[in-house]
Chains A and B, each alone.
Chain A
Amino acid sequence: MEKPSLLGCNAVIRYIKGVWGQLGLFGKISLIILLNLVLMAVFAPYLTRHPHHVSSGPPLVPPGAGHLLGTDDLGVDLWSMICFGARVSLMVGLFTALLAGLGGGIAGIIAAYRGGWPDRVLMRIVDIMVVLPDLPVMIVLAVFFGSSLHNIIIVLALFSWSMPARLIRSQALALKEQAYIKIAAHYGAGMGHLFFRHFLPELFPLMMVSMIRLAGMAIVTEASLSFLGLGDPTSRSWGLIINHAVSFRGIYFTPFWKWWLVYPWIFLTLLVSSLALLGRDLEGIADPRIMK
């Protein structure tokens, strides 16, 4: 019972400190970038002078004093759009990761602990989900369900819970054989108790790693769907800014791409690569066998 409770505040701080110490250089930089992006999204209204959904100047103004990163073809301030767009990207990342990571994790634990038919059914579903090509199916679903942020999150989650489920299941299978769990079960601990007391705390780091990976994947996929014109066309996600820029006729022959296209792309790349690098480092911490 000495295991640190996840809910204990001090324990969390200690945990985070521990993780920070174990992170490599890239991991640390990534974490800082991520935190900055999150702050940018949260404090978007305070960081921007211009509205993000209506025009605030002449169209296609290059970056300068009036408009930090310039404006798009409608005269909407690009910095504002990127700040508020961060909310869309992070939301998609966060919620998809939560839905798919937790959902998949729970499914994995149930499959592992119960065994028998729930295990077989769940794992067959996972097999099917793994072989289904994601992007084409997502495109079809996005077209079918219409393009709203909720739908995109749900569709993304539906397609990404299978990997964490499989990963967590294999770990949970090993955990199930541990003496303390067997003893706890022997003394009459129910599924719920075991789940919250033992499985979840033990497997949480692993789930966290999957979730970070999922977030990165979800953000890129949302951008791709938006880029392909399947997102909500009037939202201001990064993918859509890129989509509008790319569909501006002849943009590469004009100077406009230097800000209209490059800045959202830089932010998207920063976010996704930070997530990837952080995920890699955390993976090493959660499962030392991966890092040599």
Chain B
Amino acid sequence: MKKMLSLMSTAILLLSLVAGCFPKGGVEQKAAPDAGEKKVKEETVIVRLEGGDWGYPTPFAHYSRGPGSAKTAYIFDSLLERDEKGNIPWLAERWDILDDGTRYVFHIRPGVKWQDGQPLTARDVAFSFNYYRQYRPVSISDMVMDQNYLLQIKVLSDMQVEFTTVEANATFLETVGRVRIIPEHIWSGIEKPEEFLEPAAVIGSGPLRLVDYNKEHGTYRFEAFMDFWGPRGALDVLEFVPVSDAVLALEKGEIDLAGIPADVLSRFKNNPAFTAIENPAFWGYRLRFNMEKLPEFKTKAVRQAFAYAIDRQELVDKIARGEAIPGSMGILSPHHHWYNSDLPSYQRNLEKAKELIVGAGISHKPSYDLLVAGGEEVRIGEVLKEQLAMAGIDIKVTSVDMKTRDARITEGNYELVLVGHGGWGQDPDYLRARFSSAETTWTSGTPGYSNPEVDRLAAEQLKETNEARRKELIFTLQQLLAEDVPEIPLYLTTGHNVFRQDVYDGWVHVFDHHAPTHNKLSYLQR
């Protein structure tokens, strides 16, 4: 038995070595017939992507990360959608903004059907919002939940729904426009929505419907919804399949799109069967301080010391292999359309970092626990440990799996935590969500951090409906944050996605998102 064990373990090691030895032949063989057949007849287009369990794609059961909410969005439409340039009408054909931006009337597109054949009306829209206000879905803006802000959602007619708010809000349209609309006839009786995991729970009005989901294997199968109201589906089947190595799987034709690391890109760039697209830097890692648990993090100088001690460019070079840009201390991604480039750069300066630590009057030798998830994040943790050690800051890296890390963030159970996620290209109101002291949740806010000026600007930009003036406010806000360093954006990945254009080439980037697979426009003919 021990022998078996040793054999097994050795076999694992061996296999992983051998696995790399035969990638080249398989590709050409498989690519050729695919391309040939497509010319002859209009065949079923099946697109396969890397799988993984991201929860059951209902607004209540998906896992709160990009791939989870994206799958939910394939099925459930929203009032607005995003394209390459900005927000576009979707379930709402048009809308009127009345009474100085406190009243919105959405005109629902006629002829929209749910995937079970029932018509979608304004009642479903109002129901969805009211239902979410009763049962909180996985992700929703606090603005929608706030009974004192969003006063009323009223059905005016079959095709009209009216929202009344206390005051104008620059992000209202976008926020409300992204809420997933669910069918009243299915959800009205459901009292425990997070436990509602029946096939009926995934009936939406979107272009794809879920036909199979396997939690254990992390597989999903979506098929085109034939009665979809909008643009024709460009593919028939979308499958998420388990893969062990995305590069290998892409080469062997097991999947049709994958993020390809810098060192391997040349392999695909020279192959006419593949196309590479560069992603905008809207996915990034940030280092967060727990100011509630460790009051010394409330001292600006300590946080600035971290910023001076960390060499973000080194992280870009080593961990992202050059396919990233260093984060801005003003938080917004340098690729964001409202990025303020005129900010202190915090070039690495160990002397300054040490001075700041001494000046902050910390009596003990600074030593902190850094919580990271597995894989790449461990490596980031190791580099940070090395860099901070040079400034006299001791770091102990603790690695847990991603879900545990996320859960510990929600509980505020960490000293320093590294977290990577998307969304850095979204409406800059996320600066308010992260740093306004009114935001007290651990997931979105920064408990313990409070700067009255930040609070004031954050609140003001939200009410400012004049775009130019709002932009100014956001620029100032970035300046304040760059001075305060409430958290450290380490780097934002650019990276390349490579896809097999002979199988499917409809991939697009919407204006504020890094992943072409996360938006449904990538799956529609336009």
Contacts and interface: CB of A to CB of B under 8 A. Distances in A.
Interface in A58-99: 59, 73-75
Nearest to A219: B6
Contact of A252 (B9, B19, B317, B381): B19
A242 B374 CA distance: 15
A246 B374 CA distance: 13
Interface string B389-409: 100000001010000000000
Given A160-B2, A246-B16, A252 B318 contact: no
A221 interface: yes
A234 B397 contact: yes
Interface in A196-247: 213-214, 216-217, 220-221, 223-224, 227, 229, 233-234, 242, 244, 246-247
B318 A74 contact: yes
Contacts of B20: 251-253, 257
A59 B10 CA distance: 28
Contacts of A256: 263
Contacts of A224: 9, 12-13
A286 interface: no
A289 interface: no
Interface string B253-268: 0000000110110010
B379 A213 contact: no
Contacts of A268: 13
A282 to B, nearest CB: 16
A67 B376 CA distance: 24
Contacts of B246: 249
B266 to A, nearest CB: 9
B261 A249 contact: yes
Nearest to B381: A234
Given A217-B6, A249-B246, A252-B23, A265 B13 contact: yes
Interface string A246-271: 11011111101100011001001100
Contacts of B6: 216-217, 220-221, 272, 276
Interface residues of A, number: 43
Contact of B9 (A73, A135, A265): A135
Interface string A127-160: 0001000110000000000010000000000001
Contact of A134 (B5, B19, B319, B385): B5
A213 B2 CA distance: 9
A73 B318 contact: yes
B9 A229 contact: no
B468 interface: no
Contacts of B389: 54
A44 interface: no
B346 to A, nearest CB: 21
Given A224-B12, A250-B247, A130 B2 contact: no
Nearest to A269: B10
A277 interface: no
Interface in A18-54: 54
Interface string B224-255: 00000000000000000000011110000000
A163 interface: yes
Contacts of B98: none
A244 B376 CA distance: 9
A116 B21 CA distance: 58
B197 interface: no
Contacts of B366: none
A150 to B, nearest CB: 16
Residue from the set B20, B248, B260 with the largest chain A CB neighbour count within 10 Å: B20
A262 to B, nearest CB: 8
B375 interface: yes
Nearest to B22: A252
B2 A217 contact: yes
B386 interface: yes
Contacts of B211: none
A73 B379 contact: yes
B17 interface: yes
Contact of A247 (B10, B13, B317, B375): B375
B153 interface: no
A236 B398 CA distance: 15
B146 to A, nearest CB: 40
Given A54-B386, A252-B21, A265-B17, A220 B9 contact: yes
Contacts of B383: 55, 74
Contacts of B200: none
B8 interface: yes
Contacts of B378: 233-234, 244
B436 to A, nearest CB: 35
B276 to A, nearest CB: 13
A254 B12 contact: no
A177 B13 CA distance: 46
B379 A244 contact: yes
A249 B264 contact: yes
A253 B318 contact: no
A91 B508 CA distance: 53
Contacts of A54: 386, 389
21 contacts: A74-B318, A74-B379, A74-B383, A160-B2, A227-B13, A229-B374, A233-B374, A234-B381, A234-B385, A247-B376, A249-B246, A249-B261, A252-B23, A252-B247, A253-B247, A253-B263, A257-B17, A262-B17, A265-B13, A268-B13, A272-B6
Given A250-B264, A253-B23, A265-B13, 18 more contacts: A130-B1, A134-B1, A135-B8, A216-B6, A220-B6, A220-B9, A220-B10, A221-B5, A233-B399, A234-B399, A242-B13, A244-B378, A250-B260, A252-B247, A253-B247, A253-B263, A253-B267, A256-B263
Interface of A: 54-55, 59, 73-75, 130, 134-135, 147, 160, 163, 213-214, 216-217, 220-221, 223-224, 227, 229, 233-234, 242, 244, 246-247, 249-254, 256-257, 261-262, 265, 268-269, 272, 276
The 10 A-B pairs of least Cβ separation, nearest first, read A252-B20, A250-B264, A224-B9, A233-B399, A249-B261, A250-B247, A233-B378, A253-B264, A254-B263, A220-B9
